[in-house]
Copies of this chain bind each other. A is one copy, B any other.
């Protein structure tokens, strides 16, 4: 069970975009320089957040990415699931219905208990991530952080 490395990238990128002024944008190249990441691959992953409706992209000069919604309405879960997919890491293939020990269909009306427990754990994970929004992340940073981020990311204080 491993999240893509780009998960960390996008979490930090989203947190950085949340520190810009409303409406301001940062290009993929700027974000890549800011964190020293491969620009092309980062751009590809940012598309996932656009498709998920977390970010909005504008093309052309002065274009780039910005938050599609207020930072308080973007949770860590939405970012993580945008890049990695919302599927549960445990996929029940109903092996209890296969092989010599196959259970009759009548006993399989209820979902497999093991699958249910795994789904329960996944839900606990999701709930934990859903309780934190980007605005809370920003609030935990030093007060000087947003200004510094704007300067070093876009060059406009």
A contact residues vs B (CB 8 Å cutoff): 1-3, 5, 7-9, 11-12, 15-16, 33-37, 76, 84-85, 87, 89-93, 95-96, 98-101, 107, 113-115, 117-118, 120-122, 124-125, 127-129, 132, 137, 140-142, 148-149, 152-153
Other than the given A76-B121, A125-B128, 11 more pairs (CB < 8 A) read A3-B90, A7-B90, A8-B95, A33-B100, A35-B95, A35-B98, A101-B152, A117-B132, A120-B128, A121-B128, A124-B127
Contact A90 to B8, CB < 8 A, known contacts A37-B99, A76-B117: yes
Main secondary structure of the interface of A (DSSP, over half): helix
Q: Which residues from B are CB-within-8-Å of A99?
A: 33-37
Docked Cα-Cα span, A32 to B26, in Å, equals 54
Docked Cα-Cα span, A98 to B121, in Å, equals 34
